[in-house]
Amino acid sequence: MVISVIGIGLIGGSMAISLKENGFAERIIGVDVSQENLDKAVRRRLIDDDASLDDAIAQSDILILSTPVDAMKKLLPEILSKLDKQVVLDVGSTKQELNAIVEHHPNRGRFVATHPMAGTEYSGPEAAIPDLFNGKCTVIVDEHLSDADALEKVRDLYTSMDCSITYMDAQSHDIHTAYVSHISHISSFALALTVLEKESNEKRIFELAGSGFGSTVRLAKSSPDMWVPIFRQNRDNVLDVLDEHINQLARFRSLLIKKDYDRFYELIEKSNSIRKIIDKQ
């Protein structure tokens, strides 16, 4: 099996490591707009060699599209137009816009829309790590639009990386990821900016920062090149959850103003029920 990874970053690079190590791929080809990234990927043995997009398509059985989501909108139709029996999958965090663009493409069946729910706050080929996907969930989106053999190959690919698989339509996927992923990032960015504003006058803040603070703002290290396109494409859903988040913050603020600590206690206690959901994972 020859697999091409288009976009050699954290996700694409980590998939390359896993698929080569577990034997699913005999050869990994890298495609990237940055030759520097490709050189790093070769040195780290994430990929066997690099190629142009056209050469990668001609040589591959499966192509993994792992660029920022805005770039996917341009690349996916181009790739589909050049396919024969090859399969292409994406790993993007948003799905409605991308799926709509190729909805009527004659080769739409060769595309499988996926979203492996894994990652770190780091980016680039140097961030790629083995076993990133072990035990993680992958969402396959609008599976009924993909050819049966394409779907089977993609399921086999994710199963080889020890992923569980679930299925959603594009609209549901984008709503749910706004709640479980996108709001976490935007909240982390906002908290980091809040602390940085204070840090200019109170430098000892960071002397006191413990592991709780570090874990809360960890996602603020994430790349804007990746996240601004996600927020752009999932704007309406992110706004919806952001409005609710702001409402909850306002409730806590109001209770502090009123010194209503009994109600404050009740809200914190209610929030603790999230552990029942988290602990099931």
Give the pLDDT of the chain (281 residues) as one tens digit per residue. Answer: 999 999 999 999 999 999 999 999 999 999 999 999 999 999 999 999 999 999 999 999 999 999 999 999 999 999 999 999 999 999 999 999 999 999 999 999 999 999 999 888 888 898 999 999 999 999 999 999 999 999 999 999 999 999 999 999 999 999 999 998 999 999 999 988 988 887 766 666 666 666 667 777 888 888 999 999 999 999 999 999 999 999 999 999 999 999 999 999 999 999 998 887 667 65
Provide the sign of the torsion angle of the four alpha carbons 48, 118, 158, 53, taken in this order.
Answer: negative
User: Could you tell me the residue ranges of all domains in the chain?
Assistant: 2-168, 173-278
How far apart are the C-alpha atoms of 209 and 108, rounded to whole Å? 50
pLDDT of amino acid 255: 96
CATH class assigned to 2-168: alpha beta
Query: In angstroms, how far is the first alpha carbon of the chain from the final one?
Result: 32
Place of tokens 């990746």: 226
Look up residue 281 and give its two tokens: 């994972």
Look up residue 250 and give its two tokens: 């306002």
Residues 6+ apart with CB under 8 A from 181: 93, 117
Contact 218, 121 (CB under 8 A): yes
pLDDT of amino acid 40: 93
CATH class assigned to 173-278: mainly alpha
How far apart are the C-alpha atoms of 76 and 97, rounded to whole Å? 12
Region of 49 (left: φ > 0; alpha: ψ -120 to 50; beta: rest) is beta
pLDDT of amino acid 121: 80
Q: What is the pTM of this model?
A: 0.89
